[in-house]
Amino acid sequence: MSLRSHTRDAQLLMPTDALPRLREALSYAYHNTKLTRDKFDAVGVLPQNIRDSPDLAMVPATTRAEYRREFPAGVLAGGATLHDPMVVRSRSSGTAYERLLSADYSYTLAERRLGALAANPPLLRVLADPETRRSVRYAAPNCSDVECALPQTTIRDRILPNGMLVLPAAHDLYATSTQMLRQAWNEIVDWRPDYLSCDPTRLAHLLRYLDHDDPQDIPGRALVMTYNFAPAFATAYLRRRLPTGMTVANSVTMSECGWVAVSCPHGTLHLNTAELWMELVDADLAPVAVGEVGELVVTSLGEPLSPRVRYLTGDLYQLLDGCPCGHRHPAVRFEGRWRNAPVCSDGSRMSMRELDDLIGAPEHLVSYRFHQHAPDRAELRYMSSTGNVSEWEHSMRDRLRARLGKVCQIVIDVTAFLPAERSGKFVTCTTAVS
């Protein structure tokens, strides 16, 4: 699975003192959930066989599809129901075969958030401040269980119990009506949030719309860029637009795992190993080395409701060699979804982040979408503030072909519109090649 070949040096992400919690979690999952028991039994492994970190390799991984099929009876711990008032039920933003229902106790989600935020004390101070009562969420409609895409919903319909206002958002980002953009901004102003939790591409689009004729300062003490991959064109725009003094961080959250990673004040992403047992693995489920890209596999620690065991997240991360902040949570770089990574002629995959690095954030670039139709055919469509930029197109074609392979024909075209996925997420890179 690694995108580039590096020297193989198995890297354990977890501190040794987490091992007792892992053993306890495996035992609990085995004795309380059908899915885990069936998977262990299928390979003749018992929880007590897992004595050390490498032994975990004996445990089969759990796929999203398996989790979906077994939910809830096969994955909730014996006796638990979805009816418990402490249970938070989540619907993932995925559609069709990517969709997923999951459940967690609200307090375990809070613990995971707290564990992740240990890597970013300034952000933690804002989010944990008793004075922080109001926030806004601006993301694809499917990223919340609130029908924010329906025009008749009122602000009252979209306020969550924790004081978070879900802003109105159209399914198709760049087809959002100006009326809806204006409504979202007015609600931000009216709600006076202490912090914002936003899909960076969506927020950048909103600010561009405002900047066109009515630039305004963004309220709030912090911005958490989350829900979606953060492309350079969006983060560059936001950096220019955000007020100085605002705390800005990236976080990766999953409906089925909560807060998986958060960036430190240096901007480096750190995996939340405080509450989750993390592995970064290649296609053979072997650990990847520093510098390599692997899929994140998660085992929940201390999860009483719906324990996950070696859950394949489908998300790719590059393992970094530490971070200047010195925090003990492993430093990584989020690379995007595995299934979206185009396949190159040398058999390797180009991650969404690698593509984004190639494209960068030139001044003219408003947004882009790359799609690989076939191994030898791809297209890059981009929205531009200055019309088509031929020189940049030539240079991009050369750089993309150098990575994807000389046989790949790449159409590059400027456009006024780029479609989002039906989930409402705008994805900068997709492939039809499996």
Partner 1 sequence: MSTSNIATTVRSDLPILRVHETGTRALIYLDSAATTLTPEPVVAQIVAYYRDVSASVHRGKHMLSDIASTHFEQVRSDMASELGANTRDIAFVPNTTVGLNTVACGLRLSADDLVIVPIDVHHSNLLPWRHRARVEYIRLNSRATVDLDHYAQLLRRHPRIVSVSHCSNVTGRYAPVAEMARMAHDAGAIFVVDAAQSVPHGRIRLAETEADFAAFSAHKMLGPTGIGVLFGRLGELSPLARGGGTVDWVDLDGERLRDSPHHLEPGTPHVAGVYGLGATLDYLRKLGWQEIARHDAELAGELYRQIAQRPHMVSLGGTDAVDRAAIASVRLPPGVDVDEVARLLSDSYAVMCRSGKLCAQPLVEALGDRRPVLRISAYVYTTTEEIRTAFQAIDEVLPMVGASMAAR
CB of 362 to partner 1, least distance (A): 21
Nearer to partner 1, 43 or 96 (CB): 96
Q: What is the rounded CA–CA span in Å between residue 95 and residue 422?
A: 7
Nearer to partner 1, 16 or 152 (CB): 152
Q: List the one residue from 172, 361, 375, 399 that touches partner 1 (CB under 8 A).
A: 172
Q: Per rule CB under 8 A, is residue 407 in the interface with partner 1?
A: no
CB of 344 to partner 1, least distance (A): 20
Location of structure tokens 């944990």: 128
DSSP bridge partners of 271: 261
Cis bond before residue 15 (omega within 30° of 0)? no
Per CB under 8 A, which region of 9-17, 117-125, 146-154, 287-295 contacts partner 1? Answer: 146-154
Nearer to partner 1, 6 or 99 (CB): 99
Q: List the one residue from 5, 16, 152, 244 that touches partner 1 (CB under 8 A).
A: 152
The H or E element spanning position 431 is strand 429-431
Nearer to partner 1, 73 or 175 (CB): 175
Nearer to partner 1, 189 or 374 (CB): 374
Structure tokens that stand for 72 in this block: 């809830």
Q: What helix, strand, coil percent values describe the chain, rounded to 5? A: 30, 25, 45
Residues 93-112 close enough to bind partner 1 by CB under 8 A: 95-97, 99
Q: List the one residue from 28, 30, 40, 174 that touches partner 1 (CB under 8 A).
A: 174
CB of 172 to partner 1, least distance (A): 5
Q: At what angle do helices 352-359 and 390-404 cross, to 10 degrees?
A: 150
Per CB under 8 A, which region of 73-81, 283-291, 371-379, 389-397 contacts partner 1? Answer: 371-379
Nearest to 163 by CA among 139, 193, 186: 193
Q: Count the site residues for partner 1 by CB under 8 A.
A: 23
Helices (H), 33-177: 34-43, 64-70, 106-117, 121-128
Q: List the one residue from 418, 425, 429, 431 that touches partner 1 (CB under 8 A).
A: 418
Q: 66-102: buried (b, 16+ CB within 10 Å) or exposed (e) per residue?
A: bbbebbbeebbbeebeeeeeebbebebbbeeebebbb
Is residue 291 packed enough to be buried (19+ CB in 10 Å), middle (13-18) or exposed (0-12)? Answer: middle
Q: By CB under 8 A, name the binding residues for partner 1.
A: 95-97, 99, 150-152, 172, 174-175, 177, 373-374, 377, 381, 415-422
